[in-house]
Amino acid sequence: MEYYKNISYMISHLFLMAFFYFFIMHRYTKRKTAVLCFFSFLILCILDCFKLNFFPDSNLCYVIVTVVQILVTQLSGMLISKQRNSKVLFIGLSASNYVIAGSIAACVLHICTGSIPLSLVGSIAVHLFLLIFLYCRLREICFKYYENEHLKGPWKLCLIPVFFYCSFCFIAFFPYTLYEYPNNIPGILVFILTMFVSYVIVLQYVEGESIRNDMYWKNMLSESYIRGLERQYALVEQSQKRLQILRHDMRHYAELINTLLNQGETAEIRNIVRHITDVADESRVVTYCDNLVVNTILANTAEKARSLAVELKFKLRIEKELPVNCYEFAAVLANLFENAFLCIKEYEKQNRYVDAKIHCTKEYLLIHMKNKCDREVLFDSATGLPKSKNGKNHGLGMQSVLSFSNRIGGTIGCYCENGFFTILLHAKF
């Protein structure tokens, strides 16, 4: 019987690490992640020996070892995860619940059939079925929840898998097992079904919230894009009117120039030519790049910079067809410029400027921005990016930039030194 428990627990730990490997986005390479999961599996199996083989009759040992195993399990999830937050903890705790549900199913099979080989085969089959089913149906939802920077993962959401796990343990394993009270089998099976239904509802809610958040940010960008197009249209109309007036007045200017030529007033003629040139320049609509969406955002940014008396020093190389989503790229630029403007708007006029080198070609993406900053900047220890001092619901712009960088496989970094803040985003395609 003891070897049966050891093998059953080993099967559970194996599938638990498989859940972690497939449902948590990796911080490291696949090989390194697999090695870390294997070492966690070995630690869990060694700890099992204490409560199953060395001190099988000690309830205290069972409790202490179980608590240590829980800590090792969840810390393993945090270790391999690209991000380390409540979302990862929720996924890790949920994985433990699905695994314990498979273990209970194996226990029920053993009680009903009395066959150890059949129960072990059934255990593997149930675990495998759950893994494949969840991989096909819920993995994408989990990744969307994991990646959505705008959708916060509240810590209280983790209470759902915690209470399910505790209920499973107290009903099926401790202090009395299903072997001692087989009448609990119908109740525990219904409880497993309740857990599955609950998780489906919770994850559908999370998916709905993710979709609503995505729609909100897309609508925000679309509104900005539409407003930019309206401004561009107004500028074109204004430019056309000025040029019409200039064309109408050119006959008068020509007569005036001829008169001044006869009088030898060359200085006054230069003033007239300069005036005509200035009117023509004012009528010119600036085009920053060939991509309509990005050009609209840059035009909006330039207009806002003029209203704040901020000097923009552009070095642009942006192709008409971009290798990235043009709306997401435009949103990144809008967020970075907005942060820069917020930082420098209170400075003296000579310090209100932003150096922006923006390249986006088929080969690479480069965003290098620099602005004056002589105040303290708080950096997030996990991402290395600045975080807002204004608390909740602030700092979403940098989170959006980080999410974009992760999606395109880019690298992002920033630093503040010698009174200047610099941020660099680079990706090679």
Q: How much is the pLDDT for 45?
A: 92
Q: 36 falls in which pLDDT band (50, 70, 90)?
A: very high
Q: How much is the pLDDT for 146?
A: 67
Query: In this model, does residue 392 exceed pLDDT 60?
Result: no
In a domain, 366, yes or no: yes
Q: How much is the pLDDT for 228?
A: 61
Q: Are residues 321 and 191 located together in one domain of the fold? A: no
Q: Are residues 38 and 179 located together in one domain of the fold? A: yes
What does the alpha-carbon distance between residue 10 and residue 357 come to, in Å, rounded to a whole number? 55
In a domain, 127, yes or no: yes
Mean pLDDT of 418-425: 90
Query: In this model, does residue 391 exceed pLDDT 80?
Result: no
Q: Of 86, 159, 162, 13, whose CA–CA distance to 382 is shortest?
A: 86
What does the alpha-carbon distance between residue 103 and residue 97 come to, in Å, rounded to a whole number? 10
Share of the chain above pLDDT 90, in %: 20
What does the alpha-carbon distance between residue 50 and residue 46 come to, in Å, rounded to a whole number? 7
In a domain, 351, yes or no: yes
Q: How much is the pLDDT for 346?
A: 85
pLDDT, the chain, mean: 81
Q: Are residues 211 and 297 located together in one domain of the fold? A: no
**Sequence-separated (6 or more) residues with CB below 8 Å from residue 21:** 33, 34, 37, 80
Mean pLDDT of 341-366: 91
Mean pLDDT of 154-158: 74
CA 402 vs CA 217, 283, 406, 423: distances in Å:
15, 39, 6, 12
In a domain, 154, yes or no: yes
Q: Are residues 330 and 205 located together in one domain of the fold? A: no
Query: In this model, does residue 222 exceed pLDDT 50?
Result: yes
Q: Are residues 194 and 302 located together in one domain of the fold? A: no
In a domain, 23, yes or no: yes
CB-based contact 314:356 (threshold 8 Å): yes
Q: Are residues 200 and 51 located together in one domain of the fold? A: yes
Q: 393 falls in which pLDDT band (50, 70, 90)?
A: very low
Q: 233 falls in which pLDDT band (50, 70, 90)?
A: low
pLDDT digits (tens, 9 = 90+) for 309-334: 999 998 999 998 999 988 888 888 98
Q: Which has more confidence, 279 or 386?
A: 386
Read off the tokens for 76.
């393993």
Of 158, 189, 215, the domain-final residue = 215
Q: Are residues 291 and 180 located together in one domain of the fold? A: no
Q: How much is the pLDDT for 362?
A: 92
In a domain, 238, yes or no: no
How many domains does the chain divide into?
2
Q: Which has more confidence, 220 or 187?
A: 187
Instruction: Give the CA angle between residues 218, 219, 222 to the nearest 5°.
Output: 85
Of 139-153, 175-189, 239-253, which one has max mean pLDDT? 175-189
Q: Are residues 332 and 202 located together in one domain of the fold? A: no
Query: In this model, does residue 100 exceed pLDDT 50?
Result: yes
Q: Are residues 300 and 428 located together in one domain of the fold? A: yes
What order do you get walking across the sheet with 411-417 strand by strand?
311-318, 353-360, 364-372, 420-428, 411-417
Of 215, 237, 259, the domain-final residue = 215
pLDDT digits (tens, 9 = 90+) for 239-295: 667 667 666 667 676 777 777 777 777 788 777 777 777 666 555 556 788 887 888
Q: Print burial letters for 89-117: b (CB count within 10 Å at least 16), e (below 16).
A: bbbbbbbbbbbbbbbbbbbbbbeeeeeee
In a domain, 264, yes or no: no
Q: 370 falls in which pLDDT band (50, 70, 90)?
A: very high
Q: Are residues 58 and 182 located together in one domain of the fold? A: yes
Mean pLDDT of 132-161: 73
Q: Are residues 340 and 203 located together in one domain of the fold? A: no
In a domain, 270, yes or no: no
Q: Are residues 320 and 424 located together in one domain of the fold? A: yes
Of 192, 215, 238, the domain-final residue = 215
CATH code of the domain in which 340 resides = 3.30.565.10
Tokens 């309206």 locate to 230
CB-based contact 91:142 (threshold 8 Å): yes
Partners of 413 in the beta sheet? Answer: 424
Q: 177 falls in which pLDDT band (50, 70, 90)?
A: confident
First CA to last CA distance, the chain = 57
Domain that holds residue 377: 287-429
